[in-house]
Each structure stands twice: as structure tokens, then as C-alpha cells.
Amino acid sequence: MGKRSPLTTGQWSPRAPLETRRPDGTPVGPSGGRRTTALQWAARAALPLALVLWLLSLRHVNLDAMTDLGLLQVLPVLFWAALGLLAVGFCVALSDRRTRGGWFAAYVLGLIAILHATPALLYPTLRYGWAWKHVAVVDAMIRNGGSVPGAEKLDVYDQWPGFFHLNALVVQATGLESALGYAVWAPPVNNVLLLAPLLLIYRAVTTNRRLIWGAVWIFYSCSWVGQDYFAPQAFAFLLFVALIALVMGQLRAFAERPPGDRARAWPAGRFLLAVLIMGVIVCSHPLTPLMMVSALVALSLPRRNRRVLLPVLGAGVLLTVVWDATVARPFVSANLSEFVGALLEPDSNVVSGLATLGSAAPGQVMVSWVDRGLSAAVFLLAALAFVRRRWTRRTGMPLLVLAPMPVLIANSYGGEMIFRAYLFALPAAALLIAALLFESRRHPRLRVLMVAPLLLAMLGGLLFGYYGKESANYFTEDEVAATHFVTATTPPGSLIVSLTSDVPGLEMNYDKHPRIQLNEQDLEVRQRLVENPIEGLDPFIDGATVREPAYIVLSRAQAAECYLNGTLPADTMQRMDEAMSNTWGFVRVFRNQDAVVFRYQNPDAGEAS
């Protein structure tokens, strides 16, 4: 008999308890039939009941009452009951070895719906300011034949245009007016699309369904970072997970081959698919290719993996270098010195953040600590799994958990790198945690039910991070109306000034209106604005004329962001409103319940342009 592969000897997956199966393939465990049947009925009833309770809970939600904790403080008790029932029902299903995969899939899809479709169903407009910006970039590419000329900060998307070109094709092929109609549903759709590659990764590591579906549930329960909206990073992350799934599947297939049949590490079609995925990643987002290369390097460290990994790694490095040296060369050249300088400051990269002039809202301090606690718990549990479940050490999962760390040390990515590193490590960490929590040869059913409180705690931590800033991420129709007034009806060349980026659609028609965002200015400039709003505005609007006036946009979400983050004092917008209302030269040209727009022209500029 030939030598068995690592998969069949248990080096990749834990040994499953012996079980018998019915003719239809469903396993029959050692416990009695009546008790198992009762558990099955409980699991099947909990799912539809939880979904009904969730939908009923959305009928009366007062979004205007959101403050420090966003949606957390306005969602009714029925919502929390639905989420709790769903989690308990999943644990019951997981404890029964006769539960079929379709029920697990239904539970995970139900979790995605409750977590990610709730804002889309509650909000009257697209959620999150950056999603509006990306819709505007798609619109600009359609208007300008595939580019965003003269866009200042937006021109970086010319150098990584893959996501935007794809959506421009979708908009043009479907006849939609813009991507706004479907961008609202990007979070639930992106998370649903992630399910397939996650399953492929986990199935390449173990055949234990309890571990596979437990890992999937843990991933969605701990993915609090919120990088799932209408954005190139969400698209690139989906492709990254798909690439890892393809690589892990090939590693398993290669390990299962007889030693004499390993001359070809990759079938040609599968290798070309891997190269195509990497190519789309490289042209869609600047950060994800670095995470991709780092993950492939990590997986190639064990000698047994190199025949499979080195060809893919070489192709990934080549694609990244060629793209950065050609299409993305303007951005890379302009920021090269900053990149090199960041390599010399690894400590500041890890803890980077924006200097603040105010105090963060008390609720946001709590949200920050909960986020940190959940993230620390994920890595701690993954480390315990590495120690306690020795078989996981040969799966590649520990290497994938550590893979983002070199990128984290190398650059701060505007203070967001630590969140991205957590996100890219999470798929692998979730499987390690599932192995720690759910693998048990003694009393597996009892073990699953005992960890149910921990799964509920994970969901609670996720909701703090994912829903805690919604008072700034949510936009009313009145705010959208104010933005439309400014971008669609004001004279071309007019300067648009906003306090923060939380203004929905302010980048529409960007080529007609230069823009200033005050909370992005240097600390000295922001201090002057706080001390005297008019003097703080003066350097930016001094050149405004009758033909090209300046428009200052103040809105509810901007005030919420200042209050939540403390980058500016919470009363900054109110003080600006009062100061401009009482200063000659400022004219209130638009006001509704949630927004006000002032027009300014320099009294000394006259009619001159």
C-alpha cells in the first residue's frame, strides 16, 4: 500500500467520531432518536421565528434618537430577541450531528440578513459617506470615458480602476441612472458572496461539518470592521478570500496525490484562474495586493507547500510590481518617500490616529474598548487553538493569521492598517477558534451548548463596532436634498466647503466644484476655526466672487461626526451657523430640518473673477 497523504492521516483535519449513516447519507449519532428529533424541530422552528421577529422589529425605529451608540440604542427589544433566538437556534443545530448543511447555510444567511440588511431596510438613503463618494466616481468614469480627470484626491482611482470600471459596465448594461440604486445593498450582498470561498477554505482543511459551519458563524460574528460597503476594498477582499480558497484547495489536492503524480503542481485552467483573480485584485485596490503577497509568502514557508505556492507567489509579485511601476506610477512616485519613512516608524504605524481637538462621545469610548476587546479575544482564542489543537499547525491557518502583520508594521494606511490587518487575519482565525470551541470527542453536544454564551458575546461585540457610529453614517433625505442643491444648481467653479466628509454625494459633479474639507486641515488651522469660525474660514473663501462664490454646507451627520469622534468640538457646527448668520457677506440660500447652506462672496472682490 502506498503512503497516505497528510489529509488521510489526520495531519490536516481532526479525526471525526465514528458514526453510522442512513441510506440518504445523513449521519446517525449514538444518542437516541426522540431526543435528536426534538433538537431538529427546535432548530428548524427557531430560524423562521427569528426572521419573523426581526422583520416585525423594524416597523417602528426612531432613527432621529440615535446619539452615542448609533443603532444600538434605538433598535427595539424584539430585534435583540430575534438575534438571540437565531444564535441559540444555530447552536442547537450545531449540537445535532443529523443537521444537514442546508440548515446551517440558512442560519448563516439569516445572520447576514439581520446584521447587514437592517440598515438598508431602515434608512431612506445610501449609508456611509465613502459609499456616496464611490458612486460619484463610477458616475465620473461613465461621463469621462473611463477616467476621473482633474479630480485631485479622486484621481487615485484612475490608477486602481478595476472596481469602478466593472460597476460602470453594470450601470451602462442595465440602463440604470447610477450605481446608487444597488449600492444600498452592497453590505448584505458582499457578505453573501463571501460565504462560498469561506466554505472552500474550511473544507480544504477539515471534513468536520461542525468546525466548518462554526468557523463561518464565528467569522460573521466577529467581522466588525465594516469593510463591506460599496467600495473597492470590499471587492478586493472578496477576491482575496477567493484566491486563498483556490490555493488551499490546490494544496489539499496536491497532498492527496500519489508521490509519482506530483510533477505538475497546478492544472493549467486553475492556475490561470488564480492569475486572473490576482490581476483583478492588483488593478482594483492598492493595499490588498500587499496583503495577498504577504499571505502567499506565509503559506510558502513550509517546504511541502512550495511547489504549489511559488508559481502563484511569483505571478502575484510580478503583477503587483508591473502595475505599480506603470499604471500606478504617479501615485507611487508621489508617495514613495512617505512609504520609506513609514518603514522606519513601525510603532507609530500600529497606533496611528488623527489628532483631536475635542473629546470623543462617552458611548464611542465604550465602542472603542469593546472593539479592542473583541479583536484581542479573537487573537487570544486563535493562539489557544494553536496550543491546544496541534493538528491546526499543519493547516496553514496560523500562518494566514500572522500574514498581515508585516504589512501592519510597514505602513499606517492613514490609521486604518490595524483594522485591515484584523480583517485579513479573521477568516483563518475563525477556523482556529472553531477548532478550539467545537472539537470534542466527549460530549460534543454539551460542548456546543456550553459555548453558546460566548457566541452571543461575540455578536454583541460585533454590533458595537458595526452599529455604534450609525448616527454619522446615516443620512436623511433632507441632507441629500441640500447636497443636490449645491452640486446641481450652483455656478460652475464655485467652492464647496464642508466641516467633515459626512455629506452624501458632495463629490457628484466634482469637476465643476473645487472642495475644502475643514476637519482634514492641519491642527493649527482647525484650532483657528474653533477659536473664531469666520477667521478660520477666511483663508479658504477669501477669493470667492459673485460669479464663483463659496458655498458652506452644514448638516446633521457632520455635527454627529464631530460629536462622536472629537476631531472638532461637538458645538463647532452650531457656532459656525450662528457666526455666519450674523456676518455680512454670508447669505443663507438653503435650509431644511437637517441641513443649511450659506453662500459667500468677498465684498472686496466685486464682479471680478
Phi, psi dihedrals of residue 545, rounded to the nearest 5°: -125, 180
List the grid coordinates of 556: 446633521
Q: CB within 8 A of 430, min separation 6: which ones?
A: 215, 216, 218, 219, 222
Residues 434 and 489 in one domain: no
Residues 554 and 465 in one domain: no
Q: Final residue of a domain: which of 437, 471, 505? A: 471
> According to the model, what pLDDT value does residue 414 have?
58
Provide the 3-class DSSP secondary structure of residue 17.
coil
Burial class (CB in 10 A: 0-12, 13-18, 19+), 557: buried
Examine residue 149 and state whether it is found in any structural domain, yes or no. no
CA distance 49 to 53: 6
Of 7, 465, 409, 493, residue with least CA distance to 204 = 7
Residues 420 and 464 in one domain: yes
Residues 576 and 521 in one domain: yes
Output the CA–CA distances (angstroms, integers) from residue 196 to 201, 244, 432, 486, in the order listed: 9, 12, 19, 43
Residues 220 and 297 in one domain: yes
Provide the 3-class DSSP secondary structure of residue 403.
coil
Q: How far is CA 57 from the centre of its chain?
A: 25
Output the CA–CA distances (angstroms, integers) from residue 211 to 382, 432, 560, in the order listed: 14, 9, 41
Residues 488 and 467 in one domain: no
Residue 152: count of CB within 10 angstroms of its CB: 10
Residues 542 and 488 in one domain: yes
> According to the model, what pLDDT value does residue 338 have?
63
Q: DSSP label at 62? A: -
Residues 252 and 239 in one domain: yes
Residues of the chain scoring pLDDT < 50: 1-34, 342, 344, 346-356, 607-609
Examine residue 15 and state whether it is found in any structural domain, yes or no. no
Provide the 3-class DSSP secondary structure of residue 551.
strand
Output the CA–CA distances (angstroms, integers) from residue 244 to 290, 296, 418, 421, in the order listed: 14, 8, 21, 16
Of 166, 252, 239, residue with least CA distance to 203 = 252
Residues 460 and 531 in one domain: no
List the grid coordinates of 223: 467581522
Residues 223 and 94 in one domain: yes
Examine residue 605 and state whether it is found in any structural domain, yes or no. no
Examine residue 533 and state whether it is found in any structural domain, yes or no. yes
Q: Final residue of a domain: which of 414, 436, 471? A: 471
- Residue type (1 letter), 518: L
> According to the model, what pLDDT value does residue 8 have?
35
Residues 460 and 484 in one domain: no
Examine residue 332 and state whether it is found in any structural domain, yes or no. yes
Contact 115, 56 (CB under 8 A): no
Q: Number of structural domains, the chain?
A: 2
Paired strand residues for 21: 27
Output the CA–CA distances (angstroms, integers) from residue 68 to 346, 468, 562, in the order listed: 32, 7, 11
Angle, nearest 10°, between helix axes 477-489 and 556-565? 110
Residue range of the domain that includes 101: 31-127+184-471
Examine residue 24 and state whether it is found in any structural domain, yes or no. no
Q: Final residue of a domain: which of 423, 438, 471? A: 471
Examine residue 175 and state whether it is found in any structural domain, yes or no. no
Contact 7, 255 (CB under 8 A): yes
Alpha-carbon torsion, ordered 201, 203, 206, 209, to 10 deg: 130
Query: What is the DSSP annotation of 81-143?
Result: HHHHHHHHHHHHHHH-TT--HHHHHHHHHHHHIIIIIHHHHH-SS--SHHHHHHHHHHHHHHH
> According to the model, what pLDDT value does residue 3 have?
43
270's enclosing H/E stretch is helix 268-282
> According to the model, what pLDDT value does residue 311 have?
95
> According to the model, what pLDDT value does residue 262 have?
65
pTM here is 0.89
Q: How far apart are the first and last CA of the chain?
A: 88
Residues 504 and 394 in one domain: no
Sole residue written with cell 462617552: 362
Phi, psi dihedrals of residue 28, rounded to the nearest 5°: -120, 115
Examine residue 402 and state whether it is found in any structural domain, yes or no. yes
Provide the 3-class DSSP secondary structure of residue 570.
coil
